[in-house]
Each structure stands twice: as C-alpha cells, then as structure tokens.
Amino acid sequence: AVGVTAPVLNPACRGDVVGHVQDATLADVETALACAAAHAPQWAATEPRARAALLRRGADALEAELPRLLGLLSREAGKTYPNGVAEVREAVDFLRFYAAQVEREFDNATHVPLGPVVCISPWNFPLAIFTGQIAAALAAGNPVLAKPAEQTPLVAAEMVRLLRRAGVPRAALQLVPGRGETIGAALVADSRVQGVMFTGSTEVARLLQKSLAGRLNPDGRPVPLIAETGGQNAMLVDSSALAEQVVSDVVASAFDSAGQRCSALRVLCVQQDSADHVVAMLKGAMAECRMGDPATLAVDVGPVIDEDARRSIEAHIETMRMKGRAVFQSARGDAAATDEGTFVPPTLIELERLAELEREVFGPVLHVVRYPRERLAATIEQINATGYGLTLGVQSRIDETIAQVVAHARAGNVYVNRNMVGAVVGVQPFGGEGLSGTGPKAGGPLYLHRLLAHGPDHVMVRALDAAGDDDGTGVVAPQAGAAAALRRWAEAESARSVVDACDRFATRSRAGSSRVLRGPTGERNLYSLLPRDAVLCLADDEVDRLVQLAAVLSVGSAALWPDRARALHARLPAAVRERIELVADWTDASVKFDAVLHHGSGEARLAVLARLASRPGAIVGVDGLSPGEASIALERLVVERSLSINTAAAGGNATLMTLQ
C-alpha cells in the first residue's frame, strides 16, 4: 500500500509549498515495529560509550547544518531566525547532555533498556523536542519509532537523516509520519512497544494513557508514558516591580514564537496599584511588535501554525468580546503579506477573574487579571486551582513576596524577575506536574532512568550529586520522625525486612534537597526534589504494604491506604498513623494522590491501570512490583522543581528589598 502524499505549506504564505510528505500506512507501521523489535537486543547491547559517540557525532552534524535548517524551520514551522537558532542549539544540547550522562553513569550490566519506544512530538518545537525525545531513548538503549507532528514532518526527516549519517542504525531510528488518530494510535496500541514519550495536549495524553492501560511490559510492569502537556501559565507582578523590565519580559513570554510555546505566558496577574501603568506600557510595546514573514529579520511575531489554529484562537477572542471583556490588538506589519498566511496579531484581554479562562489558548493571546495586594495568597491559590503546573513567573523587588510565591507555587519551572520561556537543557530542566505532565523533566538528571526496564537503586543520590553543586541547605528530611518511628516499631515487631527497607531507603532518599546548576552570570538556577503530596499504596501482603510505607515516609510524602488495612494502621505508632490516610474508595475522583505503588499480580495491576485511566484529572503513574519485591524506585515518589532567578534584575530602590 502507498501512503497519502500531501504538500507541506508555509504558514506565513500558504501558496509556498515547502515540500511533500507521504504518510506511513498500517503496513509500514508493522514493518517498522518488526524491525525495531528485532534490533532491540543489538542496540541494548551496544556500549553506552558507543551510543554516546553517535549522538555527539549527530550534534556536530546538526551544528554544521544550522544555516540550511534555519530556512526550513522558518518556512515549515513559522519560526523567526532567532527562534530557529535557539531551537537548533537546544537540539544540540539534548544530544550532548544525554550522551554525557549515559557515558558517565550507565552500564549495560545494571541499566537495562525498555525496548522499542514510540516518540510523538509536537509542531511547535519540531526540531528541539523531536530530537530531545529520540536522543534520550537512543542514549538509554531503546530503538525509536518517531512520529512527528503532521504539520512539521520535513524538519523531523532532516534530523533522522543527520543521525543516520552519524551512524545510528536504521532499525534503531525509524521515522513514521502520519496522523495521530491512525498511525500514532496503531504504534501506541502495539504490544511490542515498551514505552511512549509524548508532548502535546492533555486530552491526547489521556487517550494514550487509556490505550496503554490495557497491557503490561514482559516483566509485568506498566508501560511507561512520559507526557509533557499544556499549561495555564501565569506571572505575578507586584507594585514594586520595575515596569520597564516587566513589559520586556511579558512581551517575550507571551508573544515570542507567536505564543506557541508550552511555557508561554497566558495570564498576567498585576497588583491593582500599578496595573494601569503596566498595562498602558504593555499596549505600547505590543504596538511596536512587527508581524509578518518570519524569514524577514525585522519581524518579531510570525504566523500561528495553520488555519485550524487561527480559527480556534480567533473564536476565543470573539467570545471574550461578546462577554464584554476589553480586547486590545495591535502590531505593525504589511497587511498584504499577512493576508497570505495564518496570522493572529498580539492580543491582550482583560478578565475580571482567572476562572473565566477555562482552557489553554495556544497562541499570541495574553489575559490580564488585576488583584489587590492583600489577595496575593488567594491569587496564588487560584492559579494552583487550575490544576496545571508547568511554568510560573514572579516579578518583585521584595524578597518576602518572592519567597511567598516560590514557597506556594505548584509549577515545575518558576522564574523570578525574568521571562518565562527558553529553558536551557541542564540549566533549567523542563517539565510540569498535575495536568501539565507526568515528569520526569526533559534535560534533567532523572529523565533517562525512566526509559529503563531495570536500573540501580541509588538513582536519586547519583542523579542529584551529578546535577550540580550543593546549595548549602543540605538534605532536608521532611517527616524524618515518622520514618524513624516506623523503623523502631518494625524492630520491636521483629519485622526484619521492614527494618532493612527503612535503612535502605534512608540512605538513598534525597527528597527535600537542592542543587545549584551551572548557568550564566547574573542568574541563579536551583534544581530541587520535593515529596509528592500523597502516594496510593496497594498491596495484599502486610509486609509489602509496610515496605511501601517505608519508601513513602523516606521521601517525606503521605500514604493512602484502602480501608481494609485499618487493623494494621491501628497497630502503628501515632507519628506514623498521622502520615497515613484511610480511604473507602480510592477510585473516587475526590480522593487525591499523585503516585501509586502496587504489589500484586499482573491481572490485578491491569485492573488498577484501567481504574486510573477512567479517573478525571492528571495522569498518575504506577510503579508495579511483584509480591515480596522491595526495590522501590524512590525517584518516582518525588517531583522535580526548577527555580531560575535573575539576580541582576533588582535595580531601583534597594531599600524595597528589605521591607518586611
């Protein structure tokens, strides 16, 4: 069978045919899967150092192709040249970062890859995210089936050519273009696929979760899904912030790449006292933005990706107008030129409250909400209540305000007195939580380990120590008292296996600690591991349940136990009982947890996965263990946070920084 051949059009000028793509057929999918499965043992046996060398060779080739790729990124994806340069650099960084990590840390005797992995990448970063996914999977020893976005297959094809030219075997990296509902669905549903990496919408990620819930890997564990999804990203600005810097950072965060970044600013929350001044300056800056063909160096804002995107964005803007919300649109540009493409001018919409924004609007649209100073804490809670947790910004010259926002933020990447886009691999590991993704963070120390079927037990220790320098706080052991109380109780009960688990987890947990990552002068970047809110612990055996509890307490999290474990709960010390919540029905959507430990049979595990997939809200991962197994991956029980601070940005009246 022959796949459908279609033209790939330039979004800035729909009459410009950039190239053609022939979609894969279901027969092509079968061939690709068979080749990947057959080659998996050979690629897994390739020495980590050899895999790293191939990725580095690919990085060198990518740098050499920069000028040619800039033109393709501009014509196919609507990228301005500065955005294109940054994207090539990010793709190169991914290749070298994962190559260095696998060469430094991995050993084929202890790091066993999953097998064939499907990588489904988006159109907004058709080179960087595409390359990051496949580089990680290849580095960890997994053959890759790469399905790029339908809108940007040409950039993906170029990257595959470069890596194959660098020496990556054809069977280890195969490009499978096509529509998500056909080709993507067929790949994900196949039993030979042992892992899925996805960047895109939350809705599609939920569909992938349901598809994977029906089967287990050969070792009886769930098929890993690494999903990075959308965000309702906000920036909080108080009256002490420098308005000129706020406006510069807001324009970059909201309108760069035509607002088509996962991390883009969607909601600007401005303190009422300074809102009029900030909004007036912002409108002036928007009016100076030049919109047009991104291949023109003077252009600031290019097109949105296609006509469907433009219609969706314009429908949202019109809905807000109909509700009586103030809408401001302005940009300089050649009307005749923009009529040829799918352009949406930078748009500012003033809302009465954050809750009016029901979904992410993926384009150059910024919503403004004003808040009184005394409602700062409530505004933070409203942001958290959206359920998204990708990026968050704060602009202030008062340390107390910054500390309050950082302490209560529930976002994977937090930015202080700087823009919120352009995370750098290894400097600001990127990824969200809640509705914004499953973790681990791309370009972070834990990412490759999620692509293993089996790995060493000391992952958290080694990953954190290799990430950067100690920030001076040392290891903060949240709820260490509960973990110690459990150990004393287990010793008194002569539960030797539980005592051993407590000791082992205590030495391997680094929850609560931070590292300073290397970055540019004038910027401080912190990477932290924090305990998950609550872990659902499912086990039939009492010892297995207690081993789970030891792991949960070692990272400072809380445990949820089914009500049938009430008798065991009553026997435990008070300090331990305080960290356990008994629930009658964990499938109830009102019961909140963000990780699951399951000891039991494969049949029981499939039932758990099916119930989780039917729950609304965030995708929750399951760590599946055999009865009696005590090797719990502690890194699954923590969340990663990145904090980036512009230390050179305070300026102005220095006394403001000491206000209490």
Furthest-apart CA pair in the chain: how many Å?
81
Question: What does DSSP assign to residue 359?
Answer: S
Catalytically annotated residue among 35, 262, 502, 537: 262
Measure the CA–CA gap between 636 and 460, rounded to whole angstroms. 10
Q: From residue 477, how far is each of 200, 468, 555 by CA, in Å?
A: 35, 20, 7
Backbone angles phi, psi at 493, to 5 degrees: -85, 0
Catalytically annotated residue among 76, 90, 103, 228: 228
Tell me if residue 228 is catalytic: yes
Taking residue 195's Cβ as centre, other Cβ atoms within 10 Å add up to 25
Of the CA atoms within 13 Å of residue 87, those in its CB half-sphere come to 31
- Which runs of E-coded beta strand occur in 293-406? 327-329, 332-333, 347-350, 365-371, 388-389, 391-395
Of the CA atoms within 13 Å of residue 281, those in its CB half-sphere come to 16
Q: Which long-range contacts (CB under 8 A, 24 or more apart) does 382-386 make?
A: 382/353, 382/354, 382/355, 383/232, 383/234, 383/236, 383/267, 383/269, 383/354, 383/409, 384/408, 384/409, 384/410, 386/232, 386/354, 386/435
Q: Reading across the β-sheet that carries 225-228, which strands appear in turn?
A: 173-175, 144-147, 117-120, 195-199, 225-228
Tell me if residue 537 is catalytic: no
Structure-block tokens of residue 207: 């569909």
Helix (H) / strand (E) containing 35 = helix 26-45
Q: Give me the count of residues in the chain.
A: 660
Q: From residue 108, how far is each of 134, 378, 453 by CA, in Å?
A: 19, 50, 12
Nearest to 357, CA basis, from 232, 258, 230 = 232
Measure the CA–CA gap between 637 and 553, rounded to whole angstroms. 10
Q: Are strands 267-271 and 365-371 parallel, antiparallel or unpaired?
A: parallel
Structure-block tokens of residue 194: 């042992």
SS3 of 132, please? helix
Number of H helices, E strands in the chain: 21, 29
Measure the CA–CA gap between 549 and 547, rounded to whole angstroms. 5
Nearest to 216, CA basis, from 600, 624, 615 = 624
Measure the CA–CA gap between 124 and 46, rounded to whole angstroms. 33
292: alpha, beta or left? (left if phi > 0; alpha if psi -120 to 50): left
Structure-block tokens of residue 626: 């055999």
SS3 of 140, please? coil
Contact call for residues 15 and 297 (beta carbons, < 8 A):
no
Structure-block tokens of residue 181: 């509902």
Active site residues: 228, 262
